[in-house]
A and B are shown apart, each in its own frame.
Chain A
Amino acid sequence: MNCLDQLRKAYILSWVGDREFVERTWRECRKELSEEGLRERVGKVLERADREWEIPSLLREEGIEGESLVREALGELLERLYRTTEEREVRRNEYVIYSVSDLGLKKVVRGYCERCYGYRSVNLEGGFGVRYEQMVYLETTGDADEALSTLLKDIFD
């Protein structure tokens, strides 16, 4: 998996609460997603620009391309995920990595399902469930695991 795909996955797993994966991505990808000295170079350009709207062409003149800036920003995003991801108790089964937050009456399930695709929404006991590509989200007053298998039924039958 390249670092961009891994970051996408880490972004969702950060929401699920899988801190371990976020940490691993951070270790493996932070070098690739940041460029030594880029921010200083950008800073110099900002100092040099008299008028704000000249900044874009001055950046290109200095050889700083849009893609490098985006990569740098994504590196910073990864740093932030690493610092801010809250660890939840993560459960795993054959298909899904997920966490269950118990809000008293309601339970909220957040999940990542590698092999899922497409979009599906269902009504659940006292709530609803939505699945979009690899992301799984549901709220229910009933049993969380049962609700999860209802939502994923069409894929893994």
Chain B
Amino acid sequence: MKLNVSWVEIPSEVIPHTNRDSDGDLDVIAVGVAEAFEREGVSEVVEIDPGKVVMAGILTSRMVEDPFLYLDSKRWGGKYFSGDVSASLAEVMAFALLEAKFGVKLTEVLPMRHVKYLGFTPDGVVDAKLYPKLISFLGGKGALYINTRGTMRWSPSWIIRNLRRDLIQVEKVRYPDAYAMLMYLVRERGWRMMVGVVKP
């Protein structure tokens, strides 16, 4: 299957962190990134092996049995799944994307979605220094945190709302000098993955 990916870079210094920043900053970034996704369109097409999607499905948080089957567009009921389930499906595709594009071993991603209720971690972490392709893509080495969400329908307001929340969530572990990818799977637009890459 072909996954249509858009990459948008988010430099760490534009994200508000201290009391010198203001409330509006986060909105400005979220709107800016959402617009960038629209403007950029598909930056690249990544070929994904269905067998590896099966394996990714086993290693992710397994909130649904056989996530692979649920990725079918007629089975994916959009909003009759909770955010938890659609995010699990996005998680599967996110793992598969990291594997296909950067050679990140599925077994080397540490999954943390199981314990997201603790409130201080995103969905997973990868040690970027083990993967040369990842080092050159990110322009440095360190921990790479990933956060995933999925939706059936695309809407700018959905992504703006979630970017705000996800940025805060990954910054809790990423700030100030690691990396993060905020990954959004939009099923309605074929196999579309929008990724915001936060760099220090």
Contact = CB atoms under 8 A, between A and B. Distances in A.
A43 to B, nearest CB: 9
Interface string B116-128: 0011110001000
B32 interface: no
Interface stretch (B3-11, B17-25, B85-93, B188-196): B17-25
Contacts of B108: 8
A29 interface: no
Nearest to B15: A53
A99 to B, nearest CB: 13
A135 B172 contact: no
Contacts of A11: 59, 111
A70 interface: yes
A134 B59 CA distance: 12
A66 B118 contact: no
Given A73-B115, A74-B110, A59 B172 contact: yes
B112 A53 contact: no
A59 B121 CA distance: 13
Contacts of A52: 168
Given A42-B120, A66-B173, A67-B143, A130 B107 contact: no
Given A69-B173, A119-B52, A133-B105, A53 B110 contact: no
Nearest to B105: A133
A55 B172 contact: yes
Interface in A38-55: 39, 42, 46, 51-55
Interface in A48-85: 51-57, 59-60, 66-67, 69-70, 72-74, 76-77, 80
17 contacts: A11-B111, A53-B171, A56-B168, A56-B171, A56-B174, A57-B18, A70-B121, A72-B120, A73-B115, A73-B121, A132-B55, A132-B107, A133-B106, A133-B107, A134-B107, A135-B59, A135-B107
